[in-house]
Amino acid sequence: MKKEQILSLEYGDKHAKIMFIGEGPGADEDIQGEPFVGKAGQLMNKAFEYIGIDRSKVYIANIVKCRPPGNRDPEEDEASACMDYLRNQVILIKPKIIVLLGRIALQHILGPEYKITASRGKWFDKKGIKYMPTWHPSAVLRDENKKLYFIRDLLMVLQKERTLQ
Ligand code: URA
Protein backbone atom coordinates (compact mmCIF):
# COMPACT_ATOMS: atom_id res chain seq x y z
CA MET A 1 0.00 0.00 0.00
CA LYS A 2 1.34 3.36 -0.95
CA LYS A 3 2.27 5.65 1.93
CA GLU A 4 1.09 9.18 1.49
CA GLN A 5 1.89 12.26 3.45
CA ILE A 6 -1.08 14.36 2.45
CA LEU A 7 -0.36 17.37 4.54
CA SER A 8 2.61 18.53 6.52
CA LEU A 9 2.73 16.92 9.96
CA GLU A 10 -0.04 14.56 9.07
CA TYR A 11 0.53 11.06 7.88
CA GLY A 12 -1.25 8.18 6.32
CA ASP A 13 -3.56 6.63 3.84
CA LYS A 14 -6.20 8.99 2.47
CA HIS A 15 -8.57 5.99 2.25
CA ALA A 16 -7.95 4.95 5.86
CA LYS A 17 -10.88 3.58 7.82
CA ILE A 18 -9.12 4.34 11.10
CA MET A 19 -7.88 7.80 12.02
CA PHE A 20 -5.80 8.59 15.10
CA ILE A 21 -5.88 12.06 16.61
CA GLY A 22 -3.12 13.12 18.98
CA GLU A 23 -2.41 16.40 20.67
CA GLY A 24 0.27 18.18 18.69
CA PRO A 25 3.75 17.68 17.27
CA GLY A 26 6.70 17.40 19.61
CA ALA A 27 10.33 18.27 18.85
CA ASP A 28 11.01 15.11 16.80
CA GLU A 29 7.82 15.54 14.79
CA ASP A 30 8.74 19.18 14.12
CA ILE A 31 12.09 18.11 12.69
CA GLN A 32 10.83 15.15 10.67
CA GLY A 33 7.49 16.61 9.55
CA GLU A 34 5.58 13.50 10.51
CA PRO A 35 3.39 12.83 13.56
CA PHE A 36 4.33 10.35 16.25
CA VAL A 37 7.93 9.66 15.25
CA GLY A 38 9.50 10.39 18.66
CA LYS A 39 9.47 8.18 21.76
CA ALA A 40 5.66 8.18 22.01
CA GLY A 41 5.41 7.31 18.33
CA GLN A 42 7.87 4.46 18.71
CA LEU A 43 5.73 3.04 21.49
CA MET A 44 2.67 3.43 19.28
CA ASN A 45 4.47 1.67 16.40
CA LYS A 46 5.39 -1.24 18.67
CA ALA A 47 1.77 -1.54 19.77
CA PHE A 48 0.67 -1.42 16.11
CA GLU A 49 3.11 -4.19 15.20
CA TYR A 50 2.05 -6.32 18.15
CA ILE A 51 -1.65 -5.97 17.31
CA GLY A 52 -1.32 -6.07 13.55
CA ILE A 53 -2.21 -2.50 12.65
CA ASP A 54 -0.36 -1.31 9.54
CA ARG A 55 0.73 2.28 10.18
CA SER A 56 0.70 3.01 6.45
CA LYS A 57 -2.99 2.07 6.24
CA VAL A 58 -4.25 4.38 8.98
CA TYR A 59 -4.28 8.17 9.11
CA ILE A 60 -2.60 10.09 11.92
CA ALA A 61 -3.44 13.70 12.71
CA ASN A 62 -3.16 16.08 15.64
CA ILE A 63 -5.39 18.66 17.30
CA VAL A 64 -2.79 21.39 16.76
CA LYS A 65 -0.50 21.47 13.77
CA CYS A 66 2.37 23.45 15.31
CA ARG A 67 4.44 22.48 18.32
CA PRO A 68 3.36 24.27 21.49
CA PRO A 69 6.51 25.76 23.08
CA GLY A 70 7.99 23.58 25.79
CA ASN A 71 5.48 20.85 24.94
CA ARG A 72 2.80 22.57 27.00
CA ASP A 73 -0.88 21.76 26.41
CA PRO A 74 -2.28 23.64 23.42
CA GLU A 75 -4.15 26.83 24.36
CA GLU A 76 -7.85 27.13 23.48
CA ASP A 77 -7.22 29.66 20.71
CA GLU A 78 -4.46 27.47 19.21
CA ALA A 79 -6.75 24.44 19.15
CA SER A 80 -9.66 26.38 17.69
CA ALA A 81 -7.38 27.91 15.02
CA CYS A 82 -6.56 24.36 13.84
CA MET A 83 -10.05 22.88 14.22
CA ASP A 84 -11.35 23.72 10.72
CA TYR A 85 -8.26 22.08 9.26
CA LEU A 86 -8.87 18.93 11.30
CA ARG A 87 -12.58 18.97 10.42
CA ASN A 88 -11.67 19.10 6.74
CA GLN A 89 -9.23 16.24 7.19
CA VAL A 90 -12.05 14.14 8.66
CA ILE A 91 -14.36 15.15 5.78
CA LEU A 92 -11.70 14.17 3.19
CA ILE A 93 -10.52 10.94 4.81
CA LYS A 94 -14.02 9.81 5.87
CA PRO A 95 -12.77 7.47 8.63
CA LYS A 96 -15.24 5.03 10.16
CA ILE A 97 -13.33 5.01 13.44
CA ILE A 98 -11.43 7.79 15.18
CA VAL A 99 -9.07 6.93 18.02
CA LEU A 100 -8.67 9.85 20.38
CA LEU A 101 -5.21 9.71 21.92
CA GLY A 102 -5.40 11.28 25.37
CA ARG A 103 -7.32 13.95 27.19
CA ILE A 104 -6.60 16.87 24.86
CA ALA A 105 -7.91 15.04 21.77
CA LEU A 106 -10.88 13.66 23.70
CA GLN A 107 -11.98 16.99 25.14
CA HIS A 108 -11.54 18.96 21.94
CA ILE A 109 -13.45 16.42 19.87
CA LEU A 110 -16.16 15.04 22.16
CA GLY A 111 -16.35 17.87 24.68
CA PRO A 112 -14.64 19.26 27.79
CA GLU A 113 -16.95 17.31 30.08
CA TYR A 114 -15.40 13.97 28.99
CA LYS A 115 -12.72 12.56 31.29
CA ILE A 116 -10.08 10.28 29.78
CA THR A 117 -10.02 7.87 32.73
CA ALA A 118 -13.77 7.31 32.56
CA SER A 119 -14.05 7.39 28.76
CA ARG A 120 -11.12 5.29 27.55
CA GLY A 121 -12.02 1.84 26.29
CA LYS A 122 -15.61 2.87 25.48
CA TRP A 123 -17.22 3.53 22.12
CA PHE A 124 -18.90 6.86 21.39
CA ASP A 125 -20.96 7.46 18.25
CA LYS A 126 -21.15 10.91 16.72
CA LYS A 127 -22.38 11.80 13.23
CA GLY A 128 -21.81 8.27 11.90
CA ILE A 129 -18.25 7.97 13.24
CA LYS A 130 -17.25 5.64 16.06
CA TYR A 131 -14.86 7.20 18.55
CA MET A 132 -12.55 5.26 20.86
CA PRO A 133 -10.71 7.35 23.43
CA THR A 134 -7.56 5.78 24.84
CA TRP A 135 -4.42 6.79 26.67
CA HIS A 136 -1.98 9.05 24.92
CA PRO A 137 1.19 7.00 24.17
CA SER A 138 3.21 9.50 26.27
CA ALA A 139 1.03 8.64 29.27
CA VAL A 140 1.75 4.95 28.59
CA LEU A 141 5.48 5.75 28.54
CA ARG A 142 5.16 7.43 31.94
CA ASP A 143 3.04 4.63 33.45
CA GLU A 144 3.66 1.02 32.41
CA ASN A 145 0.33 -0.02 33.97
CA LYS A 146 -1.51 1.79 31.19
CA LYS A 147 0.12 -0.34 28.47
CA LEU A 148 -2.27 -3.25 28.84
CA TYR A 149 -5.31 -0.96 28.55
CA PHE A 150 -3.79 0.86 25.58
CA ILE A 151 -3.24 -2.45 23.78
CA ARG A 152 -6.72 -3.64 24.71
CA ASP A 153 -8.32 -0.45 23.38
CA LEU A 154 -6.41 -0.74 20.10
CA LEU A 155 -7.44 -4.38 19.77
CA MET A 156 -11.08 -3.33 20.12
CA VAL A 157 -10.49 -0.80 17.35
CA LEU A 158 -9.05 -3.43 15.03
CA GLN A 159 -11.90 -5.83 15.79
CA LYS A 160 -14.47 -3.11 15.15
CA GLU A 161 -12.80 -2.16 11.87
CA ARG A 162 -13.08 -5.78 10.74
CA THR A 163 -16.81 -5.82 11.49
CA LEU A 164 -17.25 -2.65 9.42
CA GLN A 165 -15.61 -4.05 6.24
N1 URA B 1 2.37 13.63 20.59
C2 URA B 1 1.27 13.98 19.89
O3 URA B 1 0.22 14.20 20.46
N4 URA B 1 1.36 14.07 18.58
C5 URA B 1 2.48 13.83 17.91
O6 URA B 1 2.49 13.92 16.70
C7 URA B 1 3.61 13.44 18.66
C8 URA B 1 3.54 13.35 19.99
Predicted confidence (pLDDT) per residue in 129-161, tens digit: 999 999 999 999 999 999 999 999 999 999 999
Residue 33 pLDDT > 90: no
Mutate to test the pocket of ligand 1, among 10, 23, 103, 142 (most ligand atoms within 8 A of CB): 23
pLDDT at 5: 41
* Alpha carbons 58 and 13: distance in angstroms, whole number: 6
Give the whole-number percent of the chain exceeding pLDDT 70.
95
* Alpha carbons 24 and 72: distance in angstroms, whole number: 10
Q: What is the pLDDT of residues 69-91, one digit of tens each?
A: 888 999 999 999 999 999 999 99
pTM tops 0.75: yes
**How many residues are recorded in the chain?**
165
Minimum-distance ligand 1 atom for the alpha carbon of 101: 3
Q: 127: CA distance to ligand 1 center in Å?
A: 25
Query: Ligand 1 atom 6: the closest Cα is on which residue?
Result: 35
Minimum-distance ligand 1 atom for the alpha carbon of 23: 3
CA distances from 123 to 9, 89, 127, 130 (A): 27, 21, 13, 6
DSSP 69: G
Minimum-distance ligand 1 atom for the alpha carbon of 9: 6
Q: 41: CA distance to ligand 1 center in Å?
A: 7
> What residues does ligand 1 touch, defined as CB less than 6 Å away?
22-26, 29, 35-36, 40-41, 62
Mutate to test the pocket of ligand 1, among 86, 138, 140 (most ligand atoms within 8 A of CB): 138
Q: 164: CA distance to ligand 1 center in Å?
A: 27
Backbone dihedral region for residue 52 (phi beyond 0: left; psi -120 to 50: alpha; all else: beta): left
Which domains does the chain show, CATH number per domain? 3-163 (3.40.470.10)
> pLDDT category, 66, cuts 50, 70, 90?
confident
